[in-house]
């Protein structure tokens, strides 16, 4: 069975997955002071290579933070940053950023058409599924599945992650779904769909 079809099926049964205890927003706001230099006070980073965390799914954020802490997702920056934060603190931090509002960016008309086509319909010739099949028509993601929201994310950051997935440098995706998908995208397609995603809201 193709991985993208499996992903769609999983989205309907994922409600059976165990949940985690929701974090405390106020506690997360306190911890977020050490994250503000890179990710912004409200989770909207001003540096295109650092992700916006505002409005991201709480469960997804918590998973990524745990992955950074354990080394499952390797990062010379994030690993040390979260190493001394407790699991409860990471849950609180996730809750805080999930409660913030993401600010979309303007989209280049030059990239809009191709990016929109890829996001909404994929590329049948190369076997690329529509991004919205997992991330939703407006990029809100599927929180219950811990699949990330993409709307308004920096184009540069999305493009960097697609490249990391395609090269296997990032490998914390379930069932290799993103690695398989990203490896089928050309450099121009990565750039276009990243630009389109940055303007979604």
Residue 173, CA distances (Å) to 109, 126, 161, 166 in order? 31, 20, 11, 12
User: For residue 98, what is the DSSP state?
Assistant: H
**Distance (Å, rounded) from C-alpha 155 to C-alpha 113?**
15
Selected from 3.20.20.80, 1.10.760.10, 1.10.3720.10, 3.40.50.300, the CATH number assigned to the domain covering 3-10+104-198 reads 1.10.760.10
Reported in sequence order, the residue ranges of 36-189 that DSSP labels E, i.e. its strands, are none
Class of the CATH domain delimited by 22-99 = mainly alpha
Check if the beta carbon of residue 80 is closer than 8 Å to that of residue 172. no
pTM for this entry: 0.88
Buried b (16+ CB within 10 A) or exposed e, 138-171: ebbbbbebbbbbbbbbbbbbbbbbbbbbbeeebe
| Two structure tokens written together for 58 | 């709480």
* Average per-residue pLDDT for the chain: 91
What residue ranges of the chain are covered by domains with CATH 1.10.760.10? 3-10+104-198, 22-99
Q: What is the mean pLDDT of residues 9-30?
A: 66
- Residue 49 pLDDT greater than 60, yes or no: yes
What pLDDT, in 10s, does the model give residues 73-106? 999 999 999 999 999 999 999 999 999 999 988 8
HSE, side-chain direction, 13 A CA sphere, residue 14: 17
Question: Going by C-beta distance under 8 Å and a sequence separation of 6 or more, which residues neighbour residue 78?
Answer: 68
- What tokens were used for 38? 């890179």
């Amino acid at each position: 069975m193709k991985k993208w079809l499996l992903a769609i099926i999983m989205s309907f049964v994922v409600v059976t997955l165990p949940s985690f205890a929701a974090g405390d927003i106020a506690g997360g706001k306190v911890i977020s002071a050490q994250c503000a230099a890179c990710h912004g006070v409200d989770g909207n980073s001003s540096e295109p290579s650092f992700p916006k965390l505002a409005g991201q799914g709480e469960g997804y954020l918590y998973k990524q933070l745990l992955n950074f802490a354990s080394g499952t997702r390797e990062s010379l920056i994030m690993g040390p940053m979260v190493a001394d934060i407790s699991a409860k603190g990471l849950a609180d931090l996730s809750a805080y950023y999930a409660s913030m509002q993401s600010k979309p960016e303007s989209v280049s008309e030059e990239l809009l058409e191709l990016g929109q086509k890829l996001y909404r319909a994929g590329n049948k010739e190369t076997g690329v599924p529509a991004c919205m099949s997992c991330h939703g028509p407006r990029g809100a993601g599927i929180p219950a599945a811990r699949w990330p929201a993409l709307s308004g994310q920096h184009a540069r950051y999305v493009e960097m992650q697609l490249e990391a997935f395609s090269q296997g440098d990032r490998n914390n995706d379930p069932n290799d779904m993103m690695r398989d998908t990203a490896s089928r995208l050309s450099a121009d397609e990565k750039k276009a769909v990243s630009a389109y995603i940055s303007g979604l809201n």
